[in-house]
Amino acid sequence: MATLVDCPTCGKKVEWTEQNKFRPFCSERCKQIDLGAWAEEKYTIPAVNPPKEFDEDV
């Protein structure tokens, strides 16, 4: 039995198999929509503020 996942773009159930060349997407269209969103910088990864450096004189 194949694992079912949700297409990240449209939410349609998709079988996670080698025969699905678009996995985890359901189609070429959903794959291209997602790629376009990345290209337009609609997705972001939140930055974590680095810790302040300690004063070496202390």
CA-to-CA dists, residue 11 to 8, 30, 40, 46, 53, angstroms = 6, 10, 21, 24, 44
10: which strand partners? none
52 annotated binding-site participant: no
2 annotated binding-site participant: no
44 annotated binding-site participant: no
31 annotated binding-site participant: no
Q: Please give the annotated binding residues, written as ranges.
A: 7, 10, 26, 30
Q: Please give the annotated binding residues for Zn(2+), written as ranges.
A: 7, 10, 26, 30
